[in-house]
Amino acid sequence: MLQQLANGVLIGCVYSLIAIGLTLIWGVMNIVNFAHGEFLMLGMFVAFWGYALWGIDPLWSIPASAALLFLLGLAIYRFAVSKVMKGPMLAQLVVTFGISIFLANLAVLLWTPDFRLIDKPLLAGTWNLGPLQISVPKAVASAGSVLVSGALLLFLQRTRTGKAILAVEMNRDSALLVGIDTERVNALSFGIGAALVGIAGGFLAMYYYIYPQVGGLFGTLSFCIVALGGFGSIGGAFAAGLLVGIVQTLAGYFFDPAYKYAVVFLLYLLVVWFRPQGLRGW
Amino acid sequence: MVKISLAAAAVLLALGFPLLFSGPFPLHVAIVTLIFAGLGVAWNIMGGYAGMFSFGTAAFFGIGAYTSTWLSTAHGVNPWLGLLAGGAASALVAAAIGWPCSNLRGHYFAIASIAFAEIVRTHFNNWKLVGAAEGLMIPIRDGGLRVFQFNQSKAPYYFIALAFLALALLACRAISRSRMGYYFRAIKESHELAMVLGISFVRYRLAAIMIAAFIAAACGTLYAQYVLYIDPESVLILSVSVQVVLVTMLGGAGSLFGPVIGAAVLVPLSEITRAQLGARGTGVDMILYGALITLISVYQPKGIWGFFAGGLPRRKRPAPQPRLEPSSPGVA
Amino acid sequence: MLNAKRTLLLAAAALIALPALAENPKVIKIGAVYPLTGNIASTGLDCRRGAELAVDIINGKYDLDLPLARTEGIPGLGGAKLELVFADTKGEPKNGLGEVERLVSQEKVVAIIGAYQSSVTKTASQATERLHIPYVCSDSSSPTLTQRGFKYFFRASPHDALFARDQFNFLKDMEKKGQKVKRIAVLYENTEFGSNVGKEVVKLAQEFGYELVADISYAANATDVTSEVGRLIKAKPDVLMHASYITDAILFTKTFKEMNFRPKAIMTFAGYIEPAYLPTVKQDAEGIVVRSTFALDLAARKPLVAKVNELFKKKYGTEMSENAARSFTAPFVLAAALDRAKTTDPDALVKAIEATSFGPGQVIYPWEGVKFDPQTHQNVFARGILVQIQKQQYVTVWPFDSAAAEPLWPLPPWGTN
């Protein structure tokens, strides 16, 4: 039971890292990035190619994943998302779907649908902590996720740009009033959001298999997590990620593994019905 | 005048299609197109008109398909009756899920619909009564219209699909012109406005969801009787729901014929590119698809219908509000 | 007068032309439906390669005991060559239907092979049954395919009920060697393939008198399987039977190691024999048993296997895999039937396929050959073998009379080899 809880927390931390990127984008721009799973996939492929071509372990290529995804996020914002900001809600919903289909299949074209695995990662094996067996790569990924989330919070709360982002998140019009360039904030947030999930991809690549459609389930889960946590709330997203990880694992262990994701989705529905703004949203 | 003759031409083409293209493959493409057009119309009632953007249409499509198929294979119920039962079941489920979701907005509603549809899929995937992951197979039977199965030619399926679509369009049109339609547009514009006008929007939202669910379920039964095999992977997955949204969006959400146009473009595009390019195994058709969707959302969110109705797209002007426009970028 | 001259000239021209016509052998098209894009496109590619090699051998002149290998093309049809027309199903049942119809109506194929995924084969074969076109399948394993009473559908390869039974027979044989087994756990991915296997195992466990201690199904694309493995550990089985695809095979192997799950034996279906599995998990897979129809070490008792593998390696640069080996058979069945029927007429072709009779030396598996049951159209000689991963190779361990080595039992502890 304790082991399952531990596992839940471990996978939950990775979910959290994926989710905070999404919630940042959502909070700032009110756009659900349905291509978030594909950003994760790209982050994983950066790690993979770094390993396959130059022997760089995924741990060290994480900054590259972050940087490349940041740039991609900026580009996607500039060329697609920014143009639908003033458009109808449906366009906002669908544009990132289109991007997600495009990216996943571009990956198929470029890298074949074969899945890949990093077979000799630096971090492998298991730690035995008393009665618990903790997988080393998962533990490092979780620690990394906590660190990155912490860094993000610091950035948002302590730096000028960060505070500008928070301001736009809280109230777009007031932010405009005080002269904040909301367009720049949007672009930055999209880029940072993408970078964050790119980092998650780098961590995940240490132990999970990589292929063009890998973003699917992770993506769907991250939407639920973010909505659970409340749109825009970084802390909420983090907590919700952990919650989902734990619920998923315990449901799989005690109830039925075939239904474990259904339980997560049911949880989402229940929370959203009784508290539509999520756990900590506004 | 132009409009009427265009419409007449379209109707003639639709009716004469099986004569012009009598091979099984073109008819197959046409039938799938019509089914998706029907699903798109169903979605449009909920989404295009009433503003509830669902990414869970597959759930109702699947419930319809499964209900009629299970009733006919396990209990010998005639598929036409099964169709009605499927529609009713779908509508009931829609009401049950729609009521608590009825005051969810935009993104939350969309995600809730995804969550709901995934729960349905997982359940059917594990439900032994309906074959779980193996799905259900409909035995080949003679009898034509009576048993809703045609083995000699596809043309009857085509005409039935066309009839379904026509009925769905009529329903959509009737709703749009009725009081309900007026209220839908109000709800879509703004919750606040709807509340001010004192409309019980929960009731109308539910109505929209139930009607959409019924139509989607009917399409599900048609699909099942056509392909003669259903399983969760083919009728209940997210990509079916997404396809329905994209088809409607491309054609023009909120316009009557939008879904038909969208389906008529996207389905053959996808089938033909798969036939031409797919054999090389590189997914180029899906890349084009994704790019097309993105471009449409960005440049012509009103869809293809938008070209006919409103000419070239104009940037929507922001509502006049007291606010300071920043005079130079990058102040922060 | 003029008319007669003209007619004579025409007749002469025709007579001259005739041999020329006869000298150009026709091309006979066969439709091949496989998942060439999508999640299991690499498997689709494997299948494609197997089928293509078979057609190469039929069309060319090879000194092999395979049917029609020593002749070029189909002698009974004037040396006509076979041509495979591939279509991508993307793994979706409705595309099985659509592509078959397109192949038959537009490409004018005379028969169909494919489609690997049983759910797609179901719809594809329903299409051929309605269109009255023969369909020879040698790569889909759902038992239900040959339980439908179809006239035009044939299956040359074994199905999951047979494979599952093999595994239980193996356990019984191991008991005779003194290895007792009581508790069985079954784990399977929750699509058509996995749940079929799960169902069979549950049935057979009861029939063979074993205690089923866990019956767990899971989503193949799960992000994490620690809860599934947790349940397995709690159930304490002697033997785990696992039906999976390649990605979940890898994930589970890693998680088994992580959580130190070590029953006496792990017996598996499908995913563990995909070419990419072993290079990825390496020594962690030691001792795992997989059902198969084909193994490279059969070459020891059947030189034909080595020769075919050589051809495969020369053409594709890699060893022949299980999936390629299975898809390899269908073209031969069709070619032999075309030769026997001397026509492409579907009903005559069906009769000819029903009369198929390959001997043990004419197939690359340890079967008695190919002969179809008149009722179900299932190859009665199809059977599986069990291979075990030993020192990172697939080694045939059962049936004992085809085995290349002794089975390793129980599973070695983690980290050896």
B207-256 pLDDT per residue, tens: 889 999 999 999 999 999 998 889 898 899 888 998 899 889 888 888 88
Would residue B160 count as lying in a domain? Answer: yes
Q: How far apart are CA C394 and CA C396, in angstroms?
A: 7
Q: Quick check: is B200 in a domain?
A: yes
Q: Please list the residues that pair with C291 across neighbouring strands.
A: C386
Task: Determine phi and psi for C398, rounding to 5 degrees.
Answer: -155, 140
Domain of B208, in residue numbers: 25-237
State phi, psi for C239 to the nearest 5 degrees. -130, 135
* Most confident listed range (B263-277, B307-321, C2-16, C132-146): C132-146
- What does the pLDDT average to over C380-391? 91
**pLDDT bracket for residue C12 (50, 70, 90):** low
Category of C183 on φ-ψ map: left (φ > 0), alpha (ψ -120 to 50) or beta:
beta
CA dihedral C89, C94, C100, C101 (to 10 degrees): -140
* pLDDT digits 0-9 by tens, B13-69: 888 888 888 777 888 899 999 999 999 999 999 888 777 889 999 999 999 999 999
Strand-pairing partners, residue C154, are C136
What value does the mean pLDDT take over residues A30-45?
Answer: 93
A4 CB near a chain C CB, below 8 Å? yes
Asked whether residue B272 is domain-assigned, the answer is no
Q: Is the pLDDT of residue C76 over 70?
A: yes
Average pLDDT of the residues of chain C: 88
Inter-residue contact B204 to B45 (CB < 8 Å): no
The strand pairing partners of C153, in sequence order, are: C135
CA nearest to A80 within chain B:
B298
Show the tokens assigned to B114: 């995804």
| Cβ B133 vs Cβ C192: under 8 Å | yes
Mean of pLDDT values over C76-99: 89
A-chain residues near C219 (CB < 8 A): 217, 258, 261
The minimum CA-CA distance between A159 and chain C, rounded to whole Å, is: 35
C331: Cβ contacts below 8 Å, ≥ 6 apart: C30, C51, C54, C55, C58, C82, C84, C113
pLDDT band at C24 (very low <50, low <70, confident <90, very high): very low
**Cross-chain residue pair A114–C42, CB shorter than 8 Å:** yes
- Distance from C-alpha of C372 to C-alpha of A85, rounded to nearest angstrom: 63
Give the minimum alpha-carbon distance from A147 to chain B in angstroms, rounded to a whole number. 27
Rounded Cα–Cα distance for residues C92 and C89 (Å) = 6
Q: What is the pLDDT of residues B73-120, one digit of tens each?
A: 999 999 999 999 999 999 999 999 988 887 777 788 888 999 999 999
The answer as to whether B289 is a domain residue is: no
What ipTM was reported for this prediction? 0.87
Structure tokens given for A256: 């039925």
The answer to the question of residue B172 being in a domain is yes
Chain A nearest-CA residue for B301 = A91
> Does residue B331 register a pLDDT over 70?
no
| Spatial contact of A74 and A191, defined as CB atoms under 8 Å apart | yes
Ordered by start, the domain boundaries in chain A are: 2-274
Give CA–CA dist C84/C94, Å, rounded: 21
Q: Is residue B87 part of a domain?
A: yes
Q: Count of domains in chain B?
A: 1
Give residue-wise pLDDT tens across range B267-324. Answer: 888 787 777 766 555 667 778 888 888 888 888 878 887 777 654 444 444 444 443 4
Q: What is the Cα–Cα distance from A186 to A205, expressed in whole angstroms?
A: 28
Subunit contact C119:B274, Cβ cutoff 8 A? no
Write the residue in A115, A216, A257 that is nearest to C228 by C-beta: A257
Query: Between residues C17 and B145, which one has the greater pLDDT?
Result: B145
pLDDT at B310: 59
Q: Can you say how many angstroms the Cα of residue A80 is from the centroid of all Cα atoms in its chain?
A: 20
CATH number for domain A2-274, candidates 1.10.10, 2.60.40, 1.10.3470, 1.10.260: 1.10.3470
Mean pLDDT across the stretch C172-179? Answer: 90
Domain membership of residue B311 (yes or no) is no
The Cα C187–Cα C193 span in angstroms is 12
pTM of the model: 0.83
Question: pLDDT tens digits, residue range C287-308?
Answer: 999 999 888 888 888 899 999 9
Residue B320's pLDDT is what?
45
Contact B130/C at CB under 8 A: no
DSSP B149: B
pLDDT at C237 over 80: yes
d(CA C385, CA C387): 7
| Domain assignment of residue B75, yes or no | yes
Kindly give, in sequence order, each residue whose CB lies less than 8 Å from that of residue A60, ignoring residues fewer than 6 positions away: A50
The span from the first CA to the last CA of chain C, in angstroms, equals 93
Residue B286 with chain A: CB contacts under 8 Å = 101, 104-105, 108
Question: Residue A184: what residue type?
Answer: R
